[in-house]
Amino acid sequence: MTSPDLTGRTVVITGAGRGLGLAMAQRVGRAGARVVLAERDAERGKAAETALRAEGLSAEFVTMDVADEMSVSVAVEQVATAGPIHGLINNAGLADGVGGKLFQEITVAEWDRIMAVNARGPWLVSRAVLPHLVDGG
């Protein structure tokens, strides 16, 4: 499968500090994009940025908690000051049921956090990035 040429494009990827998010960041970066690693965990985000740059890829880490409206807004504006945003991969998420607690063991507070990250988070990020995607063409 041939990758599209993303040279000159900026793509924001949430939850890009590890796992699928990092793998997608590598793929997008290898296609030529400037990859923005939006990650809540600064240590993971910086490590991912270092790993991608060691590969010769264009990568930038920004701190973002997708469940926090202000964090999303600040991060997106930080990215947008460097130029247009052309793509978004809403990857961040919590998966407590994968090797974690059973459904009936999850507390109401944990459920609320899961919903804030997995349902509200992608909406908050999409809403913040949308005007920049439109401006970016």
* Domains of the chain, each with CATH number or no CATH: 10-136 (3.40.50.720)
Under 8 Å CB-to-CB from 135, ≥6 apart: which residues? 84, 85
Taking alpha carbons only, the member of 96, 126, 89 closest to residue 114 is 96
Q: Count of alpha carbons within 13 Å of 61, Cβ hemisphere only?
A: 21
pLDDT at 97 (0 to 100) = 58
pLDDT at 1 (0 to 100) = 64
Per-residue tens of pLDDT for the chain, all 137 residues:
677 899 999 999 999 999 999 999 999 999 999 999 999 999 999 999 999 999 999 999 999 999 999 999 999 999 999 999 999 999 999 875 566 778 888 899 998 999 999 999 999 999 999 999 998 88
pLDDT at 94 (0 to 100) = 87
Phi-psi map region of 8: left, alpha, beta (phi>0 left; psi -120 to 50 alpha): left
| pTM for the structure as a whole | 0.92
